[in-house]
Amino acid sequence: MPELPEVETTRRGIATIMTGKVLERFVVYEPRMRWPIPAELPATISGHTVLSCERRGKYLLINFRHGTQIVHLGMSGSLRRAPMSEERRKHDHAEWLFDDARFLLHDPRRFGAVLWHDAAAGPVADHPLLAKLGIEPFDPLFTADYLYQRLRGKSQAIKQALLAGDIVVGVGNIYASEALFLARINPKTAAGSLSRARCHTLVQAILTTLGHALESGGSTLRDYVNATGEPGAYFALHSSVYEKSGKPCSICSTPIRRIVQGQRATYFCPKCQRR
């Protein structure tokens, strides 16, 4: 699934082109996504100017004066710029057409979403999909003390607490494994048992892991491409534990172990990340 670095990389790519331009046409080729694309959406936004492109968690927010288009890339989706003359590919379900640029939403599994939040309904942050999201990891308020206070009393495993998204957003399955390895925290550790000192270490590990991924454009999917159509390369080249089950730990040479938590694969070093 595209995670925060992939979505942020996409946001930066579309923002440099969409912002300030008139969306000549929004075209829906396949409305059957995770939630149906509203039938009236093309008429609602075609001919209007894009004011800005933002991100909240894994949601892209394309802002117009009269509302916000909420886009989620689902499990395997991408939003890429395509040449004006390029034929639409299979699984290209929606298109944003500007005078000198076009973007296509590609989503083979159709787990993504394209929704509309009207400005008359209030701030987009109050939308049901966004209202309960946790803090952004690069927000200055995401501190060791914040994490410690939010984890208190939680008996669930720390990996699961990070994935829940109600404490901090964007630390998805792959980046959680990497950050926990960097922090030397076992993914099965009870979240509420972490001390302030270990929370400090974990916060720094999350910021470092996500920061490196952003620098490289991210790569949580083998077929992930960013807004310019370029593939990500971060985890293909630099992962410490992800998809390295049985391979020697880069620190101690102990074989990396794979377990399943909440139906998601977790990778860790049993020696470096003792409980």
| pLDDT recorded at residue 75 | 87
Both ends of the chain: CA-CA distance in Å?
28
Known catalytic residue: 58?
yes
Active-site pick, 2, 5, 137, 187: 2
Known catalytic residue: 40?
no
**Cα pseudo-dihedral 188, 193, 198, 199, rounded to 10:** 100
Query: Is residue 48 within 8 Å of 65, Cβ to Cβ?
Result: yes
Known catalytic residue: 258?
no
Known catalytic residue: 2?
yes
Confidence category of residue 232, pLDDT binned at 50, 70, 90: very low
Q: How far, in Å, CA of 104 to CA of 225, rounded?
A: 12
**Last residue of some domain: 91, 126, 161?**
126
Do 185 and 84 belong to one domain? no
Place of tokens 């964007």: 170
Do 160 and 66 belong to one domain? no
Number of separate domains in the chain: 2
Active-site pick, 88, 184, 264, 271: 264
| pLDDT recorded at residue 220 | 45
**CA 55 from chain center: how many Å?**
9
| CATH number of the domain residue 153 falls in | 1.10.8.50
Q: How far, in Å, CA of 220 to CA of 151, rounded?
A: 26
Confidence category of residue 235, pLDDT binned at 50, 70, 90: very low
Q: Which residue has the higher pLDDT, 227 or 85?
A: 85
Percentage of the chain modeled with pLDDT above 90: 85
Containing domain of residue 213, as a range? 144-268
Active-site pick, 11, 55, 56, 58: 58
Active-site pick, 3, 6, 8, 178: 3
